[in-house]
């Protein structure tokens, strides 16, 4: 048996979110269709594959902008940090071994391996982590 995976990202505007993930972050555009009386299903795929992100409208009483508790692997954390920071993406500092630990997503982040937080325009946060060589 094999499974794919999709994480649901609550957003306030699907078109704006799609433009951010595809044009600014360089994610691939995945499925985009309407179903169930006008509901829209929009997916993006991180560079290199992995978990698809479904950009879903937040619902009344539910916020857009959450700790996604999803780590995305990077082949070069420093290059990705600079690439995302330069156009004004909301990124935190790169956390490395010896830095003061931070908490995010219910875990303590100690900087091993190097990592940083990235937030989309709605405030959804992802952990970007240096992958294996």
pLDDT in tens, 72-125: 999 999 999 999 999 899 999 999 999 999 999 899 999 999 999 999 999 999
Read off the pTM.
0.91
Q: How do 52-57 and 28-35 pair as beta strands?
A: unpaired
Does the pLDDT value for residue 30 go beyond 80? yes
Class for the domain spanning 6-130: alpha beta
Residues 43-82: pLDDT tens digits?
A: 999 988 889 999 999 988 888 899 999 999 999 999 999 9
Residues 89-98 have pLDDT tens digits of 999 999 999 9
Residue 42 three-state SS: strand
Q: What sections of the chain are H helices per DSSP?
A: 14-19, 77-85
> What's the full length of the chain, in residues?
133
Q: Which residue has the tokens 């699907």?
A: 14
C-alpha gyration radius of the chain: 15
Measured between alpha carbons, how far is 97 from 40 in angstroms, rounded to an integer? Answer: 42
Please say whether the beta carbons of 51 and 5 come within 8 A: yes
């Amino acid at each position: 048996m094999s499974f794919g995976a999709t994480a649901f990202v609550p957003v306030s505007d699907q078109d704006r979110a799609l433009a951010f993930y595809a044009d600014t972050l360089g994610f691939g555009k995945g499925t985009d269709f309407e179903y169930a009386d006008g509901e829209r299903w929009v997916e993006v795929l991180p560079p290199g594959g992995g978990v698809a992100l479904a950009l879903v409208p937040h619902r009344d009483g539910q916020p857009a902008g959450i700790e996604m508790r999803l780590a995305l692997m990077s082949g070069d954390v420093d290059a990705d940090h600079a690439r995302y920071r330069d156009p004004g993406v909301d990124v935190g500092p790169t956390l490395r071994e010896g830095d003061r630990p931070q908490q995010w997503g219910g875990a303590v982040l100690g900087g091993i391996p190097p990592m940083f937080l990235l937030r989309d325009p709605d405030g959804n946060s992802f952990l970007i982590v240096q992958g294996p060589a």
